[in-house]
Amino acid sequence: MTDGVSETPLAEVPTPEPKPNPFQRIVGVLTAPDETFRSIVRRPDWLVPLLIILVLAITSAVLLVPHIDIATSMQEQAEAQNRPIDPQAMKFVTAFFKMAMYASPVISIAIIAIIAMLLLVAFRVFGGEGEFSQAFSIVLYSWMPQLIRSIVASIVLLQKPSFTFMQAAEPIRSNLSFLFSMKTQPLMFALFGALDIFTLWTLFLLVVGFAHMSRFSKAKSAAIVLTMWVCMTALKLIGPAIAQMKVGKD
């Protein structure tokens, strides 16, 4: 009370959240995903993880392409399908594969953007909250286990003087696909290849991230994420299933 007039305390000014450190977030999603994704949802960012994915994809393409034995790869595929090698087809496959490898950075980002959009739509359909910037940031940071796998796989492949497409399919034993032959059991090879440790790690991170974004429980988030993954995996298994039918007829 001053001069008969009561003083009203000033409202506390909220302390602004510090600017996010993308490198701390990259470590955080691997070590403390709950806390990190809570921060990502509040202030989504994408530039640094996007650049890291692009740089690693470009580096892998530049280093690995010279080591790929395309002639032997074509021979393996021709033998698996019981057909002769077409010289013109070999030239086309060689050119197409090199182009695809060098375009892989753009393809990777496009895939991540599509996954973010599909998951965002799925969560919004079920009443969840979220915007594309948040979903895109969550998927980018959840992709870190895939980058770890890519780095390890590239190191393993670069130890070889050359390698074929089949050898490049599963260079590290992070799943049980090595128990099956890619030639004679393509469906089982693809199925068990999909159940990869790094893929499961990525799915776990997506569940945590989208749970925070949508304000759903982790159980409900897991149901949506896993349903989407099963549908996408089923589509990827169509090709191997057709190949398996051809193998059975032969």
DSSP state of 237: T
**Does residue 40 have a pLDDT over 80?**
yes
Cα separation of 90 and 75, whole Å? 10
Cα separation of 148 and 168, whole Å? 16
What average pLDDT score do residues 83-92 get? 68
Which residue carries 């740089």 as its tokens?
Answer: 55
Nearest to 122 by CA among 207, 184, 34: 207
Average pLDDT value for the chain: 86
Q: Band of the pLDDT at 99, cuts 50, 70, 90?
A: confident
The residue among 12 and 137 whose pLDDT is bigger is: 137
pLDDT of residue 12: 53
What average pLDDT score do residues 70-88 get? 67
**Does residue 144 have a pLDDT over 90?**
yes
What average pLDDT score do residues 28-39 get? 96
Q: What's the sign of the alpha-carbon dihedral 201, 243, 115, 46?
A: positive
Q: Band of the pLDDT at 80, cuts 50, 70, 90?
A: low
Q: Band of the pLDDT at 1, cuts 50, 70, 90?
A: very low
Are 22 and 52 spatial neighbours (Cβ–Cβ below 8 Å)? no
Q: What percentage of the chain carries pLDDT values higher than 90?
A: 54
What average pLDDT score do residues 205-234 get? 97
Cα separation of 180 and 187, whole Å? 9
**Does residue 13 have a pLDDT over 70?**
no
**Does residue 36 have a pLDDT over 70?**
yes
